[in-house]
Amino acid sequence: MATLHELVTPDSIRLDVRAADWHDAMRTVGEVLVSAGISDDSYTESMIHNVEEHGPYIVVSPGFAFAHARANDDVHHTGMAWIRLAEPVEFGHESNDPVTLIASLAAMNSSSHIAATQQLATLMADPTKRTALATAATPEQFHAALM
């Protein structure tokens, strides 16, 4: 089982990203997945469609969204991308908006998805880790906080 630290590289992290709205933020995190060779543009569109169809269920804790979709032929290997927004965006979640941090997972299978989800829950419940992610000055520092 890969760890979060192994699923993402500093090249898959963008800090202080500007986004006009949640659609823009989701497109940006999807572009990071695509540029890393993890998935195709169609996977990004699937992530956005999920939120349009099911609502902001991906906003799983205050200020944090976990973007994902069902993998088809548009996921090349399991991996993650992270973006931290310069200004928060609203997804429409009653209690966890606004969002400043988005992790996007493209998983080849459900066991990889479940393992990553469990690790994310542990990470986001740790106030020290949350602070490290919020204050990292570089993608390398952000990546180190995922350990």
Residue type, 117: T
- Angle separating helix axes 110-124 and 127-135, nearest 10 degrees: 90
Q: Rounded to 5 degrees, what are φ and ψ at 100?
A: -120, -15
* 106 exposure class (CB count in 10 Å sphere: 0-12, 13-18, 19+): buried
| Active site annotation includes 68 | yes
Q: Which of 49, 54, 68, 143 is catalytic?
A: 68
Q: Which residues are catalytic?
A: 68
